[in-house]
Structure 1
């Protein structure tokens, strides 16, 4: 196991519902360190880089619209083996399938418009974490 950094994005629905503090508390209660924190208004360019594998998907315009509904809280978290642990903390991508006790299981839900609003993004590998941190925290 090694020291790692990972990216957490509290998405617009999580920010609007005032879950930034709840999510930070969960991270800190696990003993991980918050290295950076900022509010971000996502640009289409940032979203295209972040979701590079989804740019040509038919749902990409809705994804961009969702991620621009309001500000995002960007958080860099550091600690031993942090990437898989924080990714597990987020829960299943679909909030309706996420276990209770996970961020998405506790704070997420499905919406009548069918758009997937799932509160949080977490990096799924150390290499993705490095790539994503460069997109959202280019100053570091």
Structure 2
């Protein structure tokens, strides 16, 4: 099992697509083990996007991510980092395949609805930015036995 961070970005919240996106993760059999709505501050944005702070596009990125609330989620599942990123599609909604979240709902590179950690190290770092240890609700869903074999 893996755990990843997913952010429903300001455009997702403002366009009221939160339920649609969350339902896709649930339909896939992924487990949401923490979720909250927050307003990202400039300080948190700098921590989250630390590798981009010195790049020319950072100012616009910070302005966007701090412009409205986001939904932060911790999601568990088998190979969840890869699975979620494949469900999102290419970064640019214009290049994302139909059937992916971005392919179906986005037509922008920056306003692409959802952020997801790109690897295990990033997931561990990003989850600590948004959640304390006591905020994770680990539980056994009765649906698990209908979503994957017991030896997976």
TM-score, scaled relative to structure 2: 0.84
SS in 1 for 2:94: helix
Q: Which runs of 5+ in 2 are unaligned?
A: 135-152
Instruction: Specify every segment of 5 or more residues in structure 1 that has no aligned partner in the other structure, as ranges.
Output: none
Please list the CA deviations of residues 45-85 of structure 1 after superposition, one character each: whole Å capped at 9, or x if unmatched: 11111111100001111101000111001011001111100
Q: Determine whether 1:81 maps to 2:79.
A: yes
Deviation at 1:138, TM superposition (A): 3.4
RMSD over aligned Cα atoms? 1.2
Distance 2:81 2:53 in 1: 24
Distance 2:13 2:69 in 1: 7
Residues of 2 paired with 1:139 and 1:52: CA distance? Answer: 22
Q: What is the Cα deviation at residue 108 of structure 1?
A: 0.7
Aligned to 2:49: 51
Aligned to 1:11: 9
- Runs of 4+ deviating beyond 3 Å: none
2:45–2:66: 8 Å Cα contact kept in structure 1?
A: no
Distance 1:106 1:13 in 2: 14
Match of 1:90 in 2: 88
TM-score normalised by L of structure 1: 0.91
SS in 2 for 1:104: helix
- The structure number with the bigger radius of gyration is 2
1:29 is displaced (CA, Å) by: 0.6
Q: Does 1:137 align with 2:127?
A: no
Instruction: State whether structure 2 residue 115 is matched by structure 1 residue 124.
Output: no
How far is the alpha carbon of 1:103 from its aligned partner? 0.9
